[in-house]
């Protein structure tokens, strides 16, 4: 059986356990006060299996979290898609959500663009524009463009994206992780119909956010 922990989590888990052991040796049973922190680190890097829904034209959530208010916004300019407004769905991840990111729909990676930036609270709307981010442009089977953006948060200082340009991907594939607490934005194709609502709790790779004519 595969232990459901993301590979990037093992060094942090080992460090947390090591510190807990040192506290136990130093303070005796009082050292157990750090055990909840160890359990939280393990929980943060959990990587459960997910089963993407079947069906053409479905766009699923790339992250676990809370869907923020739906907005109209231009995608990141570094992707070269122009200033035209698109429907933007934003998922805010707290410290307690699964942070492994998943591909929202099958297609081909056309562009990747990293941009350094600030570290505002990821629940703020200005985080989409000003925070450090990794923008991903995905061409869907029918030719539409879908944009997914990993955004660093107030505490998150490390965006990990394993994708490469030209890569073919499938709905629900793992593609990265953000440490610790963050946000993902999805810019829908122009003719997509939103299926989720603001305030909804969503699950990466499983919750349908939108449908587009495929």
The catalytic residue positions are 182
* Angle subtended at Cα 47 by Cα 41 and Cα 48, rounded to the nearest 5 degrees: 125
In the three-class reduction of DSSP (H, G, I as helix; E, B as strand; rest coil), residue 28 is classed as helix
CB 160 within 8 A of CB 191: no
Strands 107-115 and 86-93: unpaired
The tokens 């790779």 sit on which residue? Answer: 205
**Distance between CA atoms of residues 63 and 46, nearest Å:** 13
Beta bridge mates, 86: 73
Residue with tokens 């595969």: 2
Q: Please name every residue paired with 122 in a beta bridge, in sequence order, or none if there are none.
A: none
């Amino acid at each position: 059986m595969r232990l459901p922990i993301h590979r990037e989590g093992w060094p942090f888990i080992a460090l947390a356990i090591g510190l807990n052991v040192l506290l136990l040796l130093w303070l005796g049973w009082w050292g157990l006060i750090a055990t909840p922190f160890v359990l939280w680190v393990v929980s943060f890097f959990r990587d459960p299996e997910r089963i993407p829904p079947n069906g053409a034209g479905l766009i699923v959530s790339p992250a676990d979290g809370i869907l923020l208010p739906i907005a109209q916004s231009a995608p990141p300019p570094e992707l070269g898609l122009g200033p035209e407004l698109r429907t933007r769905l934003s998922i805010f991840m707290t410290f307690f959500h699964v942070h492994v990111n998943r591909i929202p729909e099958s297609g081909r990676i056309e562009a990747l663009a990293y941009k350094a930036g600030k570290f505002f609270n990821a629940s703020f709307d200005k985080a989409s524009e000003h925070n450090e981010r990794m923008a991903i442009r995905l061409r869907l089977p029918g030719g539409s463009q879908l944009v997914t953006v990993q955004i660093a948060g107030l505490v998150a200082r490390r965006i990990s994206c394993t994708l490469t340009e030209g890569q073919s991907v499938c709905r629900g594939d793992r593609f990265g992780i953000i440490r610790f607490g963050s946000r993902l934005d999805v810019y829908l194709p122009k003719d997509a119909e939103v299926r989720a609502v603001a305030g909804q709790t969503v699950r990466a790779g499983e919750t349908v956010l939108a449908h587009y004519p495929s």
